[in-house]
A and B are shown apart, each in its own frame.
Chain A
């Protein structure tokens, strides 16, 4: 059921070349591997927007191609090898589950640059990049805590990996800070993209009294259900207000274009090297969509202030005192979590019910 599609921009290039006779050097080839379809209007869609921005920036100096809906696992290795053999100069692998396949394939192709999104394994030719989505989650957590009337917030989670756990913890701490009675109900669906299952999870949460839904899955299904049932939700990765004009409070926006433009620029200059980029609201990699009119002015003002404080570095979502779920101390008062411990975060903070699947 794998569905692959590659897109070459050769036609556009041919036209451009006729006007630029001196363009005799080969364009840089950049490949993208996506976990979902580019039409998911979520995670994969935002990466593809980044790819299109790359083409717009460099014109005929860069040639991009992509393969979408690539399953995480052995199949991903095959697709990556194929891309590397097709003469790619840099390959962006855009899902956590591509981590080991990327490392394996990169060993076989030392001259190709790889960049893996959201992972933590690097090599001489494997860079990593991610966005500090937990900063955005803190902002929406604060809004959720203020907006809930039942004090029950639903969270549709994909896989129990540090990236997702960080988001849950950050949103919970934020919600708790404005509403001490708040309760989180976390449902793990074990998929990034399955609209049917995401919708079922949203329905199951709403049935149990949840009136604000957060999601860490890629489709707008939960937003559609929230709109239908008259509860609130937050857009994931992109603005999903088309699916929930009344339901969407705001959305966390992923903006990969600056990173892609910068890294491909480095390949063009010959200055590319393996780096670890982890940018957040401050650098513009994470954005917050315009607030819904359903959010009261004071809540909007507080959220705006939080965004500014996070962007300036004045405030870090994980600032102590914070205890782990079992009650032991994680961060002492005033202490902030360092990147290393955040990257491997594998426990809930105190107050979240339920067991984190390992």
Chain B
């Protein structure tokens, strides 16, 4: 078998592109779950982000305005979820699922006039000297800005959750909302804020798909990435740096299996397509084998509604 045409640098560049929307959405959801809220509407918020980002970008001819628009769009639909679950105390699982259905429908409606339009291209980083370096230049200095932002966001979320007072308060809401409340923190508003952050991240992840990865708008184009992001959060045991690992692993296996097929490797393609999911399951099993540690990581109040009268 001729592996010479398999270019590892090009594969890594593709891998990062495939992983970034998952990473962004997973990071947002991670913060939401750390605050004690389970939002299953990631897919819905992503598709809304994909369509609002696309609309704003084409109308203003600026991809950056589009990305801001996608974050606003994602955060707005997340607010609906936040209002229903935090103020009206509806069931989080049911509301999250409804948000996905609602998001897919609304996005199809909003995007009706935007089929077959090209969005403005997003420039890639091009630093004189650095980006032209062989291998290193392509590997490190030639991505689009969102990829660098997503990696910065991993560090920022880690720092916020583990090294700041605000992060401690947010985690307190997720671990024991009654205790957080008795200390005088407004659990509902803190969670509401986390939900909006999650919506903005998911929205940006959606816009990454519609503006950069597949620069076009087609209905239902996120095709289940939001669900993978949800799985990645558990895979990462609610740790930001593990989320990047999970997302890149997932993206990597997806790209590797497509590239191996293009090479004509005679492993059954069905197995290759299964691998990302099998790896996820295996990691989940390994993680949950150590029950103590797994339960230590999951926010204790995940999915439970809070009301001050309780």
Contacts and interface: CB of A to CB of B under 8 A. Distances in A.
A207 B260 CA distance: 12
Contact of A353 (B116, B225, B259, B264): B264
A203 B225 CA distance: 19
A208 B259 contact: yes
A199 B214 contact: yes
Nearest to A221: B214
Contacts of A197: 223, 254, 258
6 contacts: A40-B218, A40-B219, A69-B220, A200-B18, A208-B6, A357-B268
Interface of B: 5-7, 10-11, 14, 17-18, 21, 43, 100-101, 104-105, 108, 111-112, 115-118, 209, 213-216, 218-227, 254-255, 258-259, 261-264, 266, 268-270, 273
A186 interface: yes
A339 to B, nearest CB: 28
Contact of B216 (A37, A154, A200, A220): A220
Contact of B214 (A69, A205, A225): A225
Contacts of A205: 262
A194 B214 CA distance: 10
Contacts of B215: 224, 228
Contact of A203 (B14, B111, B270): B14
A220 B209 contact: no
B219 to A, nearest CB: 4
Interface of B is mostly: helix
Contact of B14 (A185, A200, A228): A200
B23 to A, nearest CB: 14
A210 interface: yes
Interface residues on A, range: 35 or more
A259 interface: no
A239 to B, nearest CB: 10
Given A199-B213, A209-B5, A357-B269, A37 B220 contact: yes
Interface string A38-64: 111100000000000000000000000
Interface string A184-209: 01111111011111111101110111
Interface in A20-43: 36-41
B105 A200 contact: no
Nearest to A245: B118
Contacts of A37: 108, 218-220
Contacts of B255: 200, 204
Question: B17, B115, B219: which has the most chain A beta carbons within 10 Å?
Answer: B219
Given A201-B258, A203-B14, A224-B215, 20 more contacts: A1-B100, A3-B104, A3-B105, A5-B108, A39-B218, A39-B219, A41-B116, A185-B261, A188-B273, A191-B223, A196-B221, A196-B223, A197-B223, A200-B14, A204-B255, A204-B261, A208-B5, A219-B214, A219-B218, A224-B214
